[in-house]
Chains A and B, each alone.
Chain A
Amino acid sequence: MSINIELPSNDSLKLLAPQKEKAGILTPMTYVSNNIKMNKLDKNKFKENFVPAGQTTQLIIGATPESDFKILKLSESLYNKLSLKRVYYSAYVSINNDKNLPTLESPPLLRENRLYQADWLLRFYGFKVDELLDEKHPNFNTVLDPKCDWALRNLDKFPIEINTADYLELLKIPGIGVISAKKIIRARRNCSLDFESLKKLGITLKRAKYFITCKGKYFEKVYKFNENFIETNLVYQERNSLPNPEFHQLSLFDKLQPTKEDKIKCLTGNL
């Protein structure tokens, strides 16, 4: 069941979708979520499941000036209060030229990606929106993913020792997800882990290596544990996956055309 909110605030709804109202969207959503809860509580009474696949919604990104912080706050409350299965974010693609609509050259796909990354952090990694963003930094970093960004701002919580950290702590390490964290917990029951065995387990250390210790030791190539060093390295690693600003090779002879005198000099050999 999907009831689409489309635009993340009342003002934007008034501007772009005047036929939609906040109450008109939230009332049926609350109705559905209450009924799902009731149905689960009293399984014997209701023979048939009510909306067994759960409830979802969609938000359009980039058509109105809302910040990432505001959008994520909305989805967090949707997850917590209405127990939604998922919130979909959809980058705005401009189709017609209404005066209320912004004109974008290309849909904000990177922003959509960052929102999805943050959405996963909310649902599976135990993060809260206030940790990821605040009023001063209302939008996500374009270069680093939300988790790396958070980790760099909270370096006092790191490095995390792989052999003793609990599941939720492991999940906070950039580059380690649900599958890797579960693998680590399963493997370390039998023996303590070092970097070699992490590699054997198939855990990617590309980002994680800067934030962890194994048996008290840092990764061998991590010389310094400070924000500057880690950030430079992370950004350097990500350079291929990001849209590049256009560079071109500098040339010494770009605008220098040989003059008539130069040509004569070449012929006579008096360079």
Chain B
Amino acid sequence: MSNWKLINKTYIYDGSFEGLLSIVFDCYLSKTLPQKIVTSNNYIDNFLDNTTIIKTDYEKSQRIFDGVVNNICKEALYNSYYAFLSDDKDKEINILKYLCNGFDIGPEINNKITISYVFKVINLRRKALAECHKLKGLLRFKEVGDNLCYASIHPDNNILEPLGKHFINRMPTMQFIIHDKNRDLCFIYNGKEYRIINSKDIKIPSVSNDEITYQNLWKLFFNTIAIKERTNPRCQMQFMPKKYWKDLIEEP
């Protein structure tokens, strides 16, 4: 990858993982690296930028997808996917370099953590999954109608999919909505399949009558079970950072 040409271009894509993989395909074919990669809805037109819009091509992205699994390793695919979900403005260019170099040297790429972009990709994955793990415990469902649950979250990273899949495994027969209020996205599961859609397209029903009673019971339980002598706010804040508290039912 060392002899690749750095070109003064800004690539714009639609913000999907397939779109990013299409860029990887084009770059790998032409042996060039762009200056910047941005999503179309985040891009503010700049007169100095030499922009190119890359269309999402599912055939290209599928080829890269299979290529990563066969020629690098499955872990590289997971690394790049979860890094892609994270909230970092340079993630695309790092993933691009990571995958292109990965095609050159194979699975050994994951051991080269002293290369800055490899380290970044692995670290972004860790950050995204760590937040996902925290929210698995901090998510609070509310009953909003017959057999339908609703929960709102304010995550930094776009972790709706791994989070929702976790809850599908936990309660496969329940129907639920997880609402990412920072991105206005909803993860909807109807008991059989799931979809991620824009939250403007759906109307969120109001909570059921029983819900308030159960919320009060939960608060009572929360306060009763606490051991006053052992309160340790610093430790508590490490496990449940304050930024997630607004979606909780109890008041820690």
Contact = CB atoms under 8 A, between A and B. Distances in A.
Given A200-B119, A202-B123, A91 B113 contact: no
B97 to A, nearest CB: 16
A183 B230 contact: no
Q: Which secondary structure dominates where chain B touches chain A?
A: helix
Given A200-B119, A202-B123, A186 B111 contact: yes
A234 interface: no
Interface residues of A, number: 16
B111 A91 contact: no
Contacts of A59: none
A109 B230 CA distance: 8
B230 A93 contact: yes
Interface in B114-145: 114, 116, 119, 123
Interface string A93-111: 1000000000000110100
Contacts of B59: none
B114 A187 contact: yes
B229 interface: yes
B114 A193 contact: yes
Contacts of A44: none
A201 B113 contact: yes
B227 interface: yes
A187 B110 CA distance: 9
Contact of B111 (A107, A109, A189, A193): A189
Nearest to B227: A93
A91 B230 contact: yes
Contact of A183 (B113, B116, B227, B229): B113
B86 to A, nearest CB: 15
Nearest to A94: B229
B181 interface: no
Nearest to A196: B114
B230 A107 contact: yes
The DSSP consensus for interface residues of chain A is: loop
Interface string B215-250: 000000000000101101000000000000000000
Interface residues of B, number: 11
Interface in A181-212: 183, 186-187, 189-191, 193, 197, 200-202
A111 to B, nearest CB: 13
B112 interface: yes
Contacts of B227: 93
Contacts of B230: 91, 93, 107, 109
Contact of A93 (B114, B116, B229): B229
Contacts of B112: 187, 190
B232 A109 contact: yes
Contacts of A109: 230, 232
A201 B229 contact: no
B19 to A, nearest CB: 29
A190 B111 contact: yes
B229 A191 contact: no
Interface in B144-181: none
Given A93-B227, A200-B119, A201-B119, A187 B232 contact: no
Interface string B199-210: 000000000000
Contacts of B232: 109
B84 to A, nearest CB: 20
Contacts of A91: 230
Nearest to B108: A190
B119 to A, nearest CB: 6
Contacts of A191: 114
A91 to B, nearest CB: 7
B111 A201 contact: no
B93 to A, nearest CB: 18
Nearest to B113: A187
- Top 6 nearest A-B pairs by Cβ distance? A93-B229, A187-B113, A197-B114, A107-B229, A186-B111, A190-B112
21 contacts: A91-B230, A93-B227, A93-B229, A93-B230, A107-B229, A107-B230, A109-B230, A109-B232, A186-B111, A186-B113, A187-B113, A187-B114, A189-B111, A190-B111, A190-B114, A191-B114, A193-B114, A201-B113, A201-B114, A202-B119, A202-B123
Given A93-B227, A197-B114, 19 more contacts: A91-B230, A93-B229, A107-B229, A107-B230, A109-B230, A109-B232, A186-B111, A187-B112, A187-B113, A189-B111, A190-B111, A190-B114, A191-B114, A193-B114, A200-B114, A201-B113, A201-B119, A202-B119, A202-B123
